[in-house]
Amino acid sequence: MMRLRRHRALRLALRARNGERRTATVTDRRMMRTALRLAQKAADEGEVPVGAVVYRGDGDDAEILAEAHNTREARRDPAGHAEITVIAAAAKRIGDWRLTECTLVVTLEPCIMCAGAIVNARLGRLVYGAHDPKAGAVASLYRLCEDQRLNHRITPIGGLMARHASAQLKAFFRERRRVRKQERQAERS
């Protein structure tokens, strides 16, 4: 027991020395505000409000490589999730499919498809807002980004400005239900 505890302390110390952070940085917060704006843009276009940013560097040196929002309806594309679009755009921008030096910031917990893309792009960091109990694949239903069997692992940082992202999603679905109800009533009369 004692040895186990010492082991854990050592591991934590090592992690601290390696600079691995499990909390969001000031830059992450700034990027999340941008992602939330992109999510709102999606909602305004009738898409489920999800926004994403890929950036590299930190503080004043931080550089946004790509921004995207959900475009599933407009493009009639099941892969039109913000994360897929933003990863492809960032890779194109730097001319490398490996995004090891980059951070992906997204307003909602990624699904299985997007978590797969995140692992395959070898993303350095992942920060997300609201948890998704129905489809989330990095903490809620699965922990794909931390699966020891895969050759790349990322420790996600979840829940950043989650209340804002959930409020956006709730407002969107409430409005959509209201419109659909109205349409049904119009059909009947």
Asked if 87 is part of the footprint of Zn ion (rule: CB under 5 A), the reply reads no
Instruction: Give yes or no for a contact between 158 and 109, defined as CB atoms under 8 angstroms apart.
Output: yes
Q: Please, what is the minimum distance in Å from the beta carbon of residue 18 to Zn ion?
A: 29
Q: Are 103 and 123 in contact (CB under 8 A)?
A: yes
- Confirm or reject binding of residue 111 to Zn ion (CB under 5 A): yes
The torsion angles phi and psi of 71, rounded to 5 degrees, stand at -135, 25
By annotation, the residues acting in catalysis are: 83
Q: What is the dihedral of CA 41, 44, 45, 49, to 10 degrees?
A: 60
* Region from 62-70, 74-82, 123-131, 171-179 binding Zn ion, contact rule CB under 5 A: 74-82
If the CB atoms of residues 64 and 113 are measured against Zn ion, the closer one turns out to be 113
What is the smallest separation between the CB atom of 72 and Zn ion, expressed in angstroms? 9
CA distance 2 to 22: 25
Which of 40, 49, 51, 81 binds Zn ion (CB under 5 A)? It is 81
Contact stretch for Zn ion (CB under 5 A) within 2-10, 103-111, 125-133, 148-156: 103-111
Burial environment of residue 79 by CB neighbours within 10 A (0 to 12, 13 to 18, 19 or more)? middle
Applying CB under 5 A, the residues found at the interface with Zn ion are 81, 111, 113-114
